[in-house]
Amino acid sequence: MDVSVDCALFGFDGEALKLLLIHQRTAEEGPLSEDELQMALPGDFVNEQESLEDAASRVLHELTGLDNVYLKQFHAFGDPNRVKGLKDQQWLRTFREHPENRVMTVAYFGLVSLHDHIPRASSFAGDAEWTEVGSIPQLAFDHDDISDLALATLREQLESKHIGFEMLPKKFTLRQLQTLHEIVLDKKLDKRNFRKNVKRMDHVVPLGEKEEGVLHKPAQLFTFDANLTHDS
């Protein structure tokens, strides 16, 4: 059986939560027409002497240029027919040596900040795009299921596992942290209560510094100290 990894990479830019999608295509342009091409999550086969984690990191590095991205396995997808859809088979027959092979995939979700600099979203695999979660089109293979479960997993783990910080710049304001939570959890939060909770967390430490270049009262900057991550 062939084994691949797929990555659902989420990014937050202060406004919206986005998912990185690639246009399904390869270097040499194939004979497939526009509407036979779909979008997909970045993924690739696992190399012979490479762990699953390493494969996922490699895919992400090749696509975004980033290293040390927060990356977490969340599910293996192994339906025998998960690459047997009509469009999927057309694509596989055009670009793959063994299109009939069964492929299972181990899915990872990753988190990056899109604040300071947008990690380059382009790659060997074709053009890539940050797509707002909520406007995700139909995807190739079972990538709809994968991205749905990735988002559900992100929601579940956001509060319990201190992973929101991975989507913020190193120095962030409490407003940014709150907006992120509101968007991921899809509900409004009370400012005063939110700040009360955050201030009880040891691992969110105030820097002496303030925001600059904003046209209102500058906010204090905070940072996340992973060493102090033994819950509150």
Partner DNA sequence: ACAAAAGTGTTGGAGATACACCCATGA
Partner DNA sequence: TCATGGGTGTATCTCCAACACTTTTGT
Token pair recorded at residue 28: 């040499």
What whole-number distance in Å separates Cα of residue 56 and Cα of residue 72?
Answer: 9
- Whole-number minimum distance, CB 218 to DNA, in Å? 5
| Binding at 174: pick from DNA, a copy of itself, none (beta carbon under 5-8 Å per type) | DNA
**Binding to a copy of itself in span 90-119, by CB under 8 A:** 102, 104, 106
Q: Which is nearer to DNA, 102 or 171 (by Cβ)?
A: 171
CA contacts within 13 A on the Cβ side of 143: 26
Q: Which does 117 bind (CB under 5 to 8 A by kind): DNA, a copy of itself, none?
A: none
Long-range contact set of residues 53-59: C-beta below 8 Å, sequence gap at least 24: 55/4, 55/5, 56/5, 56/7, 56/106, 56/108, 56/110, 59/5, 59/7
Which segment (10-18, 66-74, 131-139, 172-180) binds DNA by CB under 7 A?
Answer: 172-180
Closer residue to DNA, CB minimum distance, 183 or 219: 219
DSSP 79: -
Site for DNA in 190-229 (CB under 7 A): 190-193, 195-197, 210, 214-220
- Residue 43 in tokens: 């993924």
Q: Which does 193 bind (CB under 5 to 8 A by kind): DNA, a copy of itself, none?
A: DNA
Residues 53-72 that bind DNA (CB under 7 A): none
Find out whether 202 and 228 touch, Cβ atoms under 8 Å: yes
Site map (CB under 8 A) of a copy of itself, residues 34-63, x = contact: ------------x-xxxxx-----------
Q: Which is nearer to DNA, 94 or 223 (CB)?
A: 223
SS3 147: helix
H-helix or E-strand spanning residue 222: strand 220-224
Residue ranges binding DNA (CB under 7 A): 173-175, 190-193, 195-197, 210, 214-220
